[in-house]
Chains A and B, each alone.
Chain A
Amino acid sequence: MINSLLVVILICCLFFAFRGLSRIKLSPLLNPLLLCIALISTLLLVLDVDYQTFFIAAKPLHFFLEIAVVALAYPLYLQFHDIKFYFLHILVCSFIGVTSATLLAFTLCEVFSVHEQLSASLAALSVTTPITILISAELGGINAIAAVMVILVGMFGGIFGISLLRLLNITHPKVMGIALGVSCHAIGTASAIEYHPTAGAYASAAMTISAVTTAVWVPPFYTWLSVL
Protein backbone atom coordinates (compact mmCIF):
# COMPACT_ATOMS: atom_id res chain seq x y z
CA MET A 1 0.00 0.00 0.00
CA ILE A 2 2.75 2.45 1.04
CA ASN A 3 4.87 1.09 -1.79
CA SER A 4 2.09 1.77 -4.23
CA LEU A 5 1.56 5.29 -2.93
CA LEU A 6 5.26 6.06 -3.24
CA VAL A 7 5.47 4.71 -6.78
CA VAL A 8 2.39 6.63 -7.90
CA ILE A 9 3.69 9.85 -6.37
CA LEU A 10 7.09 9.32 -7.99
CA ILE A 11 5.54 8.71 -11.41
CA CYS A 12 3.30 11.77 -11.08
CA CYS A 13 6.22 13.99 -10.04
CA LEU A 14 8.36 12.78 -12.95
CA PHE A 15 5.49 13.18 -15.40
CA PHE A 16 4.67 16.72 -14.33
CA ALA A 17 8.35 17.69 -14.30
CA PHE A 18 8.78 16.47 -17.88
CA ARG A 19 5.50 18.09 -18.85
CA GLY A 20 6.76 21.40 -17.54
CA LEU A 21 9.97 20.90 -19.49
CA SER A 22 8.09 20.20 -22.71
CA ARG A 23 5.97 23.31 -22.09
CA ILE A 24 9.07 25.48 -21.92
CA LYS A 25 10.43 24.13 -25.18
CA LEU A 26 7.59 23.11 -27.48
CA SER A 27 8.87 20.16 -29.45
CA PRO A 28 7.30 16.78 -30.19
CA LEU A 29 10.68 15.19 -29.46
CA LEU A 30 10.33 16.12 -25.79
CA ASN A 31 7.28 13.93 -25.29
CA PRO A 32 6.79 13.70 -21.49
CA LEU A 33 5.32 10.21 -21.72
CA LEU A 34 8.23 8.79 -23.69
CA LEU A 35 10.79 10.51 -21.46
CA CYS A 36 9.04 9.13 -18.38
CA ILE A 37 8.93 5.59 -19.77
CA ALA A 38 12.60 5.76 -20.74
CA LEU A 39 13.69 7.12 -17.36
CA ILE A 40 11.62 4.67 -15.29
CA SER A 41 12.74 1.73 -17.45
CA THR A 42 16.39 2.62 -16.95
CA LEU A 43 15.72 3.09 -13.22
CA LEU A 44 14.19 -0.38 -13.03
CA LEU A 45 17.11 -1.90 -14.95
CA VAL A 46 19.74 -0.08 -12.89
CA LEU A 47 18.12 -0.79 -9.51
CA ASP A 48 17.39 -4.35 -10.63
CA VAL A 49 13.70 -4.20 -9.70
CA ASP A 50 11.37 -6.82 -11.13
CA TYR A 51 8.76 -5.37 -13.51
CA GLN A 52 5.89 -7.29 -11.86
CA THR A 53 6.56 -5.66 -8.49
CA PHE A 54 6.61 -2.26 -10.15
CA PHE A 55 3.40 -2.96 -12.04
CA ILE A 56 1.53 -4.12 -8.96
CA ALA A 57 2.63 -0.96 -7.18
CA ALA A 58 1.60 1.25 -10.11
CA LYS A 59 -1.75 -0.51 -10.58
CA PRO A 60 -3.88 2.48 -9.42
CA LEU A 61 -2.61 4.49 -12.39
CA HIS A 62 -3.22 1.61 -14.77
CA PHE A 63 -6.78 1.38 -13.50
CA PHE A 64 -7.51 4.88 -14.81
CA LEU A 65 -6.71 3.78 -18.35
CA GLU A 66 -10.10 2.16 -18.79
CA ILE A 67 -11.85 5.17 -17.26
CA ALA A 68 -10.00 7.41 -19.72
CA VAL A 69 -11.49 5.42 -22.62
CA VAL A 70 -14.99 5.98 -21.23
CA ALA A 71 -14.20 9.67 -20.75
CA LEU A 72 -13.47 9.97 -24.50
CA ALA A 73 -17.25 9.97 -25.03
CA TYR A 74 -17.42 13.47 -23.56
CA PRO A 75 -15.38 15.40 -26.18
CA LEU A 76 -16.98 13.35 -28.97
CA TYR A 77 -20.44 14.34 -27.74
CA LEU A 78 -19.44 18.01 -27.45
CA GLN A 79 -18.07 18.04 -31.01
CA PHE A 80 -20.87 16.03 -32.50
CA HIS A 81 -22.90 19.10 -33.48
CA ASP A 82 -20.01 20.62 -35.43
CA ILE A 83 -19.03 17.50 -37.32
CA LYS A 84 -22.48 16.05 -37.92
CA PHE A 85 -22.33 16.74 -41.67
CA TYR A 86 -18.90 15.23 -42.02
CA PHE A 87 -19.47 12.25 -39.74
CA LEU A 88 -19.83 9.67 -42.50
CA HIS A 89 -16.91 11.16 -44.36
CA ILE A 90 -14.63 10.95 -41.30
CA LEU A 91 -15.86 7.41 -40.70
CA VAL A 92 -14.88 6.33 -44.23
CA CYS A 93 -11.50 8.05 -43.92
CA SER A 94 -10.76 6.46 -40.57
CA PHE A 95 -11.80 3.07 -41.92
CA ILE A 96 -9.36 3.42 -44.82
CA GLY A 97 -6.58 4.73 -42.59
CA VAL A 98 -6.98 2.00 -39.99
CA THR A 99 -7.19 -0.77 -42.58
CA SER A 100 -4.09 0.47 -44.41
CA ALA A 101 -2.12 0.75 -41.14
CA THR A 102 -3.01 -2.81 -40.09
CA LEU A 103 -2.36 -4.20 -43.57
CA LEU A 104 1.03 -2.48 -43.86
CA ALA A 105 2.15 -3.55 -40.41
CA PHE A 106 1.02 -7.11 -41.06
CA THR A 107 2.77 -7.25 -44.45
CA LEU A 108 6.01 -5.95 -42.96
CA CYS A 109 5.76 -8.51 -40.17
CA GLU A 110 5.31 -11.24 -42.78
CA VAL A 111 8.28 -9.95 -44.78
CA PHE A 112 10.49 -10.03 -41.69
CA SER A 113 8.79 -13.32 -40.67
CA VAL A 114 8.51 -12.46 -36.99
CA HIS A 115 6.79 -14.24 -34.15
CA GLU A 116 2.98 -14.07 -34.05
CA GLN A 117 3.03 -12.36 -30.67
CA LEU A 118 4.98 -9.40 -32.01
CA SER A 119 2.81 -8.99 -35.11
CA ALA A 120 -0.30 -9.09 -32.90
CA SER A 121 1.07 -6.26 -30.82
CA LEU A 122 1.69 -4.19 -33.96
CA ALA A 123 -1.80 -4.72 -35.40
CA ALA A 124 -3.42 -1.48 -34.25
CA LEU A 125 -0.87 1.30 -34.44
CA SER A 126 -2.83 4.32 -35.58
CA VAL A 127 -5.12 4.80 -32.58
CA THR A 128 -4.91 6.25 -29.11
CA THR A 129 -2.78 4.26 -26.71
CA PRO A 130 -5.56 2.94 -24.42
CA ILE A 131 -7.38 1.31 -27.34
CA THR A 132 -4.14 -0.12 -28.71
CA ILE A 133 -3.32 -1.64 -25.34
CA LEU A 134 -6.80 -3.17 -25.11
CA ILE A 135 -6.69 -4.58 -28.65
CA SER A 136 -3.16 -5.97 -28.44
CA ALA A 137 -4.09 -7.68 -25.17
CA GLU A 138 -7.17 -9.12 -26.88
CA LEU A 139 -5.15 -10.44 -29.84
CA GLY A 140 -2.47 -11.92 -27.60
CA GLY A 141 0.21 -9.31 -28.24
CA ILE A 142 2.63 -7.52 -25.97
CA ASN A 143 1.08 -4.45 -24.35
CA ALA A 144 4.28 -2.57 -23.74
CA ILE A 145 5.61 -2.82 -27.29
CA ALA A 146 2.24 -1.73 -28.66
CA ALA A 147 2.15 1.29 -26.33
CA VAL A 148 5.68 2.44 -27.10
CA MET A 149 5.28 1.93 -30.85
CA VAL A 150 2.03 3.92 -30.85
CA ILE A 151 3.72 6.80 -29.09
CA LEU A 152 6.63 6.71 -31.55
CA VAL A 153 4.26 6.62 -34.55
CA GLY A 154 2.43 9.61 -33.11
CA MET A 155 5.69 11.46 -32.60
CA PHE A 156 6.71 10.77 -36.19
CA GLY A 157 3.41 12.25 -37.36
CA GLY A 158 3.74 15.17 -35.00
CA ILE A 159 7.19 16.04 -36.29
CA PHE A 160 6.84 15.36 -40.02
CA GLY A 161 3.05 15.28 -40.54
CA ILE A 162 2.44 18.89 -41.46
CA SER A 163 5.46 19.18 -43.75
CA LEU A 164 4.45 15.91 -45.41
CA LEU A 165 0.97 17.30 -46.07
CA ARG A 166 2.46 20.53 -47.44
CA LEU A 167 4.60 18.39 -49.75
CA LEU A 168 1.40 16.76 -51.05
CA ASN A 169 0.05 20.27 -51.62
CA ILE A 170 -2.75 19.84 -49.10
CA THR A 171 -3.46 22.95 -47.08
CA HIS A 172 -7.16 22.58 -46.28
CA PRO A 173 -7.28 22.60 -42.43
CA LYS A 174 -10.17 20.11 -42.32
CA VAL A 175 -8.32 17.60 -44.51
CA MET A 176 -5.11 18.07 -42.53
CA GLY A 177 -6.97 17.57 -39.27
CA ILE A 178 -8.63 14.36 -40.44
CA ALA A 179 -5.35 12.96 -41.79
CA LEU A 180 -3.40 13.73 -38.64
CA GLY A 181 -6.16 12.58 -36.30
CA VAL A 182 -6.71 9.27 -38.07
CA SER A 183 -3.10 8.24 -38.48
CA CYS A 184 -1.29 9.96 -35.62
CA HIS A 185 -3.92 10.05 -32.82
CA ALA A 186 -3.28 12.36 -29.85
CA ILE A 187 0.19 13.64 -30.72
CA GLY A 188 -0.87 14.36 -34.29
CA THR A 189 -3.96 16.08 -32.90
CA ALA A 190 -1.77 18.28 -30.72
CA SER A 191 0.25 19.39 -33.73
CA ALA A 192 -2.97 19.97 -35.69
CA ILE A 193 -4.28 22.19 -32.88
CA GLU A 194 -1.06 24.18 -33.04
CA TYR A 195 -1.43 24.57 -36.79
CA HIS A 196 -5.08 25.63 -36.96
CA PRO A 197 -8.04 25.40 -34.52
CA THR A 198 -10.37 23.89 -37.16
CA ALA A 199 -7.75 21.29 -37.96
CA GLY A 200 -7.54 20.53 -34.22
CA ALA A 201 -11.30 20.04 -33.86
CA TYR A 202 -11.41 17.72 -36.88
CA ALA A 203 -8.33 15.87 -35.71
CA SER A 204 -9.74 15.11 -32.28
CA ALA A 205 -13.07 14.01 -33.78
CA ALA A 206 -11.23 11.82 -36.30
CA MET A 207 -9.11 10.38 -33.50
CA THR A 208 -12.11 9.32 -31.44
CA ILE A 209 -14.03 7.95 -34.42
CA SER A 210 -11.02 5.98 -35.60
CA ALA A 211 -10.61 4.61 -32.07
CA VAL A 212 -14.10 3.13 -32.29
CA THR A 213 -13.52 1.92 -35.86
CA THR A 214 -10.29 0.23 -34.85
CA ALA A 215 -11.76 -1.51 -31.84
CA VAL A 216 -14.63 -2.89 -33.91
CA TRP A 217 -12.81 -3.64 -37.16
CA VAL A 218 -9.18 -4.53 -36.40
CA PRO A 219 -9.61 -7.72 -34.30
CA PRO A 220 -11.71 -9.59 -36.93
CA PHE A 221 -9.61 -8.13 -39.78
CA TYR A 222 -6.38 -9.20 -38.12
CA THR A 223 -7.61 -12.72 -37.37
CA TRP A 224 -8.78 -13.00 -40.98
CA LEU A 225 -5.35 -11.86 -42.22
CA SER A 226 -3.49 -14.30 -40.01
CA VAL A 227 -5.68 -17.19 -41.13
CA LEU A 228 -4.89 -16.44 -44.78
Chain B
Amino acid sequence: MTNSNHIATEKSGKLILGNKEYLFQSCFYYYWIQVRQQRRRSLLVAILKFFVALSLLLACLYSAKLMTLWWQVPLPAPLVAMIFMLILLSSKMIQPNWLTPACEPILKYMALFFIPAGVGIVQHTPLLILQWPLLLSILIVVPTIGICLVAIVAQKGLKDD
Protein backbone atom coordinates (compact mmCIF):
# COMPACT_ATOMS: atom_id res chain seq x y z
CA MET B 1 0.00 0.00 0.00
CA THR B 2 2.62 2.48 1.08
CA ASN B 3 4.97 1.42 -1.62
CA SER B 4 2.48 1.83 -4.44
CA ASN B 5 1.41 5.14 -2.93
CA HIS B 6 4.95 6.42 -2.96
CA ILE B 7 5.59 5.24 -6.47
CA ALA B 8 2.46 7.02 -7.63
CA THR B 9 3.62 10.16 -5.84
CA GLU B 10 6.99 10.02 -7.40
CA LYS B 11 5.68 9.50 -10.89
CA SER B 12 3.10 12.24 -10.95
CA GLY B 13 4.81 14.58 -8.59
CA LYS B 14 1.45 15.27 -6.97
CA LEU B 15 0.17 14.28 -3.57
CA ILE B 16 -2.19 11.35 -3.61
CA LEU B 17 -3.95 11.08 -0.29
CA GLY B 18 -3.72 7.58 1.08
CA ASN B 19 -4.33 6.44 4.64
CA LYS B 20 -4.34 9.11 7.27
CA GLU B 21 -1.40 7.60 9.09
CA TYR B 22 0.75 8.11 6.05
CA LEU B 23 -0.37 11.68 5.55
CA PHE B 24 2.52 13.27 7.38
CA GLN B 25 5.01 10.99 5.68
CA SER B 26 3.65 11.58 2.22
CA CYS B 27 3.48 15.33 2.79
CA PHE B 28 7.17 15.25 3.56
CA TYR B 29 7.77 13.05 0.55
CA TYR B 30 5.85 15.43 -1.71
CA TYR B 31 7.84 18.38 -0.46
CA TRP B 32 11.10 16.53 -1.02
CA ILE B 33 10.17 15.64 -4.60
CA GLN B 34 9.23 19.24 -5.29
CA VAL B 35 12.57 20.46 -3.96
CA ARG B 36 14.43 17.85 -5.95
CA GLN B 37 12.62 18.70 -9.16
CA GLN B 38 13.14 22.38 -8.63
CA ARG B 39 16.83 21.85 -7.99
CA ARG B 40 17.19 19.75 -11.10
CA ARG B 41 15.30 22.32 -13.15
CA SER B 42 17.35 25.24 -11.81
CA LEU B 43 20.57 23.38 -12.53
CA LEU B 44 19.39 22.71 -16.06
CA VAL B 45 18.39 26.35 -16.49
CA ALA B 46 21.77 27.49 -15.15
CA ILE B 47 23.62 25.26 -17.60
CA LEU B 48 21.43 26.47 -20.46
CA LYS B 49 21.98 30.10 -19.49
CA PHE B 50 25.72 29.52 -19.37
CA PHE B 51 25.70 28.10 -22.88
CA VAL B 52 23.51 30.90 -24.23
CA ALA B 53 25.93 33.48 -22.81
CA LEU B 54 28.93 31.55 -24.09
CA SER B 55 27.45 31.31 -27.57
CA LEU B 56 26.84 35.06 -27.57
CA LEU B 57 30.52 35.61 -26.73
CA LEU B 58 31.56 33.08 -29.38
CA ALA B 59 29.33 34.64 -32.02
CA CYS B 60 30.89 38.00 -31.27
CA LEU B 61 34.41 36.56 -31.41
CA TYR B 62 33.93 34.74 -34.69
CA SER B 63 32.18 37.61 -36.43
CA ALA B 64 35.10 39.80 -35.36
CA LYS B 65 37.53 37.21 -36.71
CA LEU B 66 35.73 37.23 -40.04
CA MET B 67 35.72 41.03 -40.13
CA THR B 68 39.43 41.31 -39.34
CA LEU B 69 40.17 38.76 -42.04
CA TRP B 70 37.90 40.46 -44.53
CA TRP B 71 39.09 44.05 -44.09
CA GLN B 72 42.64 43.28 -42.95
CA VAL B 73 42.18 45.18 -39.66
CA PRO B 74 45.59 45.48 -37.97
CA LEU B 75 44.14 44.69 -34.52
CA PRO B 76 43.87 41.38 -32.68
CA ALA B 77 40.45 39.86 -33.40
CA PRO B 78 39.46 39.21 -29.76
CA LEU B 79 39.94 42.90 -29.00
CA VAL B 80 37.75 43.90 -31.96
CA ALA B 81 35.21 41.43 -30.59
CA MET B 82 35.42 43.06 -27.17
CA ILE B 83 34.82 46.54 -28.61
CA PHE B 84 31.99 45.09 -30.70
CA MET B 85 30.46 43.56 -27.58
CA LEU B 86 30.80 46.88 -25.75
CA ILE B 87 28.94 48.62 -28.57
CA LEU B 88 26.22 45.95 -28.51
CA LEU B 89 25.87 46.32 -24.74
CA SER B 90 25.73 50.11 -24.74
CA SER B 91 23.23 50.19 -27.61
CA LYS B 92 21.03 47.89 -25.45
CA MET B 93 20.90 45.20 -28.14
CA ILE B 94 22.28 42.76 -25.57
CA GLN B 95 21.23 42.91 -21.94
CA PRO B 96 24.19 42.60 -19.56
CA ASN B 97 22.41 39.95 -17.49
CA TRP B 98 22.34 37.65 -20.51
CA LEU B 99 26.11 37.58 -20.38
CA THR B 100 26.48 37.26 -16.60
CA PRO B 101 26.28 33.42 -16.37
CA ALA B 102 29.29 32.93 -18.65
CA CYS B 103 31.28 36.12 -18.02
CA GLU B 104 31.49 35.84 -14.26
CA PRO B 105 33.06 32.37 -14.06
CA ILE B 106 35.28 33.02 -17.09
CA LEU B 107 36.66 36.24 -15.63
CA LYS B 108 36.95 34.78 -12.13
CA TYR B 109 39.08 31.86 -13.30
CA MET B 110 40.76 33.70 -16.18
CA ALA B 111 44.24 32.89 -14.84
CA LEU B 112 43.58 29.21 -15.57
CA PHE B 113 43.61 29.86 -19.31
CA PHE B 114 47.14 31.29 -19.37
CA ILE B 115 48.72 28.09 -18.13
CA PRO B 116 49.20 26.36 -21.53
CA ALA B 117 50.88 29.47 -22.98
CA GLY B 118 52.92 30.10 -19.86
CA VAL B 119 54.31 26.57 -19.69
CA GLY B 120 55.88 27.28 -23.09
CA ILE B 121 58.74 28.80 -21.10
CA VAL B 122 60.29 25.30 -20.95
CA GLN B 123 61.22 25.76 -24.60
CA HIS B 124 63.30 28.84 -23.83
CA THR B 125 65.36 27.95 -20.76
CA PRO B 126 68.73 28.70 -22.49
CA LEU B 127 67.49 32.17 -23.40
CA LEU B 128 66.38 32.78 -19.81
CA ILE B 129 69.71 31.68 -18.39
CA LEU B 130 71.53 33.89 -20.89
CA GLN B 131 69.40 37.00 -20.45
CA TRP B 132 68.44 36.98 -16.78
CA PRO B 133 70.06 40.38 -15.98
CA LEU B 134 67.91 42.07 -18.61
CA LEU B 135 64.75 40.34 -17.44
CA LEU B 136 65.44 41.17 -13.81
CA SER B 137 66.13 44.84 -14.56
CA ILE B 138 62.97 45.09 -16.67
CA LEU B 139 61.05 43.42 -13.88
CA ILE B 140 62.14 46.07 -11.39
CA VAL B 141 62.29 49.20 -13.57
CA VAL B 142 59.06 48.90 -15.59
CA PRO B 143 56.52 48.60 -12.74
CA THR B 144 58.35 51.07 -10.47
CA ILE B 145 58.57 53.85 -13.04
CA GLY B 146 55.11 52.99 -14.38
CA ILE B 147 53.40 53.23 -11.00
CA CYS B 148 55.19 56.46 -10.04
CA LEU B 149 54.59 58.19 -13.37
CA VAL B 150 50.93 57.22 -13.65
CA ALA B 151 50.27 58.13 -10.01
CA ILE B 152 51.80 61.59 -10.43
CA VAL B 153 49.90 62.25 -13.68
CA ALA B 154 46.65 60.93 -12.22
CA GLN B 155 46.99 63.09 -9.13
CA LYS B 156 47.62 66.22 -11.20
CA GLY B 157 44.59 65.47 -13.33
CA LEU B 158 42.31 64.86 -10.38
CA LYS B 159 43.42 68.06 -8.65
CA ASP B 160 42.46 70.07 -11.73
CA ASP B 161 38.86 68.85 -11.48
Q: Given A37-B119, A37-B121, A64-B106, are A161 and B147 neighbors across the interface (CB < 8 Å)?
A: yes
B115 A100 Cβ-Cβ under 8 A = no
Kindly identify, within residues 159 to 203 of chain A, every residue whose CB is under 8 Å from any CB belonging to chain B. Answer: 160-161, 164-165, 168, 170, 172, 174-176, 178-180, 182-184, 186
| Contacting pair A37 B118 (CB below 8 A) | yes
Chain A contacts of B157 at CB under 8 A? 89, 92-93
Interface assignment of B93: CB less than 8 Å from any CB of chain A: no
Residues of chain B contacted by A165 (CB below 8 angstroms)? 147, 151
Pairwise interchain contact A175-B76, C-beta atoms closer than 8 A: no
Number of interface residues of A (CB under 8 A): 94
B112 CB-CB contact with A under 8 Å = yes
A to B contact number (C-beta, < 8 Å): 266
Contact B76 A105, beta carbon cutoff 8 Å:
no
Alpha-carbon distance A221/B142, docked complex (angstroms): 17
Interface SS majority for chain B:
helix
How long is the Cα–Cα vector from A211 to B78 in the complex, in angstroms?
Answer: 12
**Central interface residue in A58, A71, A105, by most chain B CB within 10 Å:** A71
Interface majority SS (helix, strand, loop, mixed), chain A: helix
The 8 A-B residue pairs whose C-beta atoms are closest, nearest first, are A144-B120, A183-B146, A69-B78, A179-B151, A73-B85, A58-B116, A134-B76, A74-B103
Q: Which residues of A are at the interface with B, using a C-beta cutoff of 8 A?
A: 11-12, 15, 32-33, 36-37, 40-41, 44-45, 51, 54-55, 58-59, 61-62, 64-78, 80, 89, 92-94, 96-97, 100-101, 104-105, 108-109, 112, 114, 118, 122, 125-126, 129-131, 133-135, 138, 142-145, 147-149, 151-154, 156-157, 160-161, 164-165, 168, 170, 172, 174-176, 178-180, 182-184, 186, 211-212, 215-216, 219
